[in-house]
Amino acid sequence: MVSRSTIDKEMEIKRLSRTFARSLARPNRVMVRGLSVSRTLYQTKIEEKHKTAETIYDVTGPDSSLIGPGAKPGTIPTDLDQATGLERYEILGKREGIDVFDMEKPIKEGKGTMEDPYLVPTYIGYRYVGCRGKNGEDHKAYWMKVDESEPARCWHCGTVYAAKYLGEPGHSHH
């Protein structure tokens, strides 16, 4: 009489031999990977330590100075700890009392008509504006691109906006 373990071993050997035979019958598959994978794997210096901006005056540009330090182990992070990019820039500005996106003062130059449009200040030749209505005719914000070449008109209330370039002449194309 053959023992149970001997039968199990024989079945396992047969299963492995079938698997081996199938693998020989299959064509070889070429493994493809992106070059960035090998660069990451073989890179010796993976992470560099960058100085995190603690005030708006420490910001060096759109780089790692706008990456928050994160929370200390065992604590809950604050907004400043975990904020990155433009959100961190805005929070740093608010701590210093600076409205970095000029959101508090609405555009008041002009009357909003085709003859006298609201003038939207810009340094790059265009700007996106959210119209919420005028003279008590409020509506949901309608966003439009106001360009130097022609005025933009809100299709809800008819308010007209035109770009007012603030930079040096001839540099608005950048």
> Which parts are annotated binding residues?
131, 139, 154, 157
Q: How many distinct helices (H) and strands (E) make up the chain? A: 4, 5
| Cβ-based neighbour number of residue 115 at 10 Å | 7
**Lookup: tokens for 160:** 């007209």
User: What separation, in Å, do the N-terminal and C-terminal C-alpha atoms of the chain show?
Assistant: 89
Give me the amino acid identity at 104: E
Classify 121 as helix, strand or coil.
Answer: strand
Pairing of strands 160-165, 126-131: unpaired
Binding residues for Zn(2+) are: 131, 139, 154, 157
How far apart, in whole angstroms, are the C-alpha atoms of residue 83 and residue 67? 7
**Lookup: tokens for 171:** 């540099």
CA distances from 163 to 121, 144, 149, 166 (A): 6, 12, 8, 9
